[in-house]
A and B are shown apart, each in its own frame.
Chain A
Amino acid sequence: MKKVFHHFSHYLPLLGITAAGLLGFSLFSYDRAFQAVIVIASATSYVAWGLIHHYIHKDLHLSVVIEYFAYAVIGVTIVFSMLFRV
């Protein structure tokens, strides 16, 4: 139970980041530039969360940093291809 609570308290900010990103994208559907900024901010927050989480758990390595960065890049690329398509 303690372990579940410990993990939950770590993942709650991440869930907040993703929920805020989704809500912001939906609310500002009429402003593509702002939607792009929201996605970049969400991706940056996700990477920051990863860095902090792994630092706390003492398993922060360069490969881990690159992994979070790669997921952020592909996420942003997918959304940008939708927003700024032909």
Chain B
Amino acid sequence: MFTSKLAHYFYPGFSNNHKARLLHSTTLLLLAAFLVAFQVFLSTIPSAGLKVLGYAANISPEVVISLTNQKREEAGLSKLSYNAQLASAAKSKGEHMLANDYWAHVAPDGTEPWIFFLSSGYKYRYAGENLARDFSDPNSAVEAWMASPSHKENMLSGKYNEIGIAVVEGDLAGVDTTIIVQLFGTRLGDSASSVPIAQAKPVATVIPTSIILSPVPTNQPTLIPTPTLSAIAPVAQISPMQNLPENGAVGQKATGYQILFSPFDTTRSISLVTIVLLLIVMAVDAYVVAKKKIARVGGRVFAHLAFLGMILAIVLLAKAGEIL
């Protein structure tokens, strides 16, 4: 009984109109619906108060700086020096994102990234920011930044000569994750900048995925970085939204045993099982039909194999992690 039931789904025969039931169009559409339902289920876990979803990571700021400078060296650029104020600004930005539960360069309340530069006492001539989340190791994050033209421009820009990195762990939208904040800067009045003042861009440019700021050229030295002071919120007004307690409670995991299921790995495993199962059943089905010379109206098996093969390759290529 069980064998015949199994054969009905996985082997062409009389009961399934000589086509494995798993390969029927209705079954495929039901499978797709199941995959969607699983994703909906995963998204309800955080709202149910269950803290079991997360991305484990082993990332240190020093390694990120080292990898960044390695890329710069390979491009023939000078290394960036570590700056404690930039690191402090990066930590503030990361903690602000976790405390206020957002993933963006500009906070929902309008807090711009350069507020964090100024609040840490870093008066900049040029400033830039790269963000990354859900990566398990620093190399993957750096490679992801380098694969994106705008983020690569930040990393390999000759305008910057200092860097600050923060790696903060915490809960973002119900998922335990690790955020990397990479800040670049050149101090105001720093003569080490490779870009002479006269050649600086006259207009501040804002790039959607990374932010580079440049001063408006004037004949008189300015102590205040552009945009003008009126456009910059004073330090005391940084985000009326919730700030973190100064003891750095953010990112501290609950004590005791905590199970973390990676949404990416779980989804990927289910996707792989689905595709491999379909490919195997399709191959067996095609072999049996050809051997028994069964006449059947249907799509070309090779075409389906090619398409599913492409999907399988995409699933294998896909990586966890997101940059901004």
Contact = CB atoms under 8 A, between A and B. Distances in A.
Interface residues of B, number: 50
A75 B311 contact: yes
A39 interface: yes
Interface stretch (B199-207, B237-245, B247-255, B312-320): B312-320
B3 to A, nearest CB: 27
B28 A74 contact: yes
Contacts of B323: 30
Contact of B315 (A21, A69, A82): A82
A29 B311 CA distance: 15
Nearest to B43: A86
Size band of the A side of the interface? 35 or more
Given A42-B310, A77-B36, A82-B268, A67 B299 contact: yes
A59 B317 CA distance: 36
A70 B25 contact: yes
B25 A63 contact: yes
Contact of A74 (B32, B309, B315): B32
Contact of A11 (B29, B303, B315): B303
Contacts of A72: 307
Interface in B276-324: 278, 297-300, 302-304, 306-311, 313-315, 317-319, 322-323
Interface of A is mostly: helix
B298 A81 contact: no
A15 B311 CA distance: 13
Contact of A79 (B28, B39, B303, B311): B311
A78 B315 contact: yes
B297 A71 contact: no
Interface in B226-276: 263-264, 267-268, 271, 274-275
Contacts, number: 123
Given A39-B314, A74-B32, A86-B53, A29 B319 contact: yes
Contacts of A67: 25, 298-299
Given A30-B151, A73-B29, A86-B53, A25 B306 contact: no
A26 B317 contact: yes
B144 interface: yes
A22 interface: yes
Contacts of B313: 22
B171 to A, nearest CB: 13
Given A21-B314, A30-B148, 8 more contacts: A14-B306, A25-B314, A46-B303, A67-B299, A74-B278, A79-B318, A81-B267, A82-B268
26 contacts: A11-B306, A21-B314, A22-B310, A22-B314, A29-B147, A30-B148, A32-B322, A39-B314, A46-B303, A50-B300, A64-B298, A66-B25, A67-B25, A72-B307, A73-B28, A74-B35, A75-B307, A78-B275, A79-B314, A81-B271, A82-B268, A82-B314, A83-B318, A85-B39, A85-B264, A86-B42
The 9 closest A-B pairs by CB, nearest first: A30-B148, A70-B28, A18-B310, A70-B25, A86-B263, A77-B32, A75-B311, A86-B42, A67-B299
Interface of B: 25-26, 28-29, 31-32, 35-36, 38-39, 42-43, 45-46, 53, 144, 147-148, 151, 174-175, 263-264, 267-268, 271, 274-275, 278, 297-300, 302-304, 306-311, 313-315, 317-319, 322-323
Interface of A: 11, 14-15, 18, 21-22, 25-26, 29-32, 39, 42-43, 46, 49-50, 53-54, 59, 61, 63-64, 66-75, 77-79, 81-83, 85-86
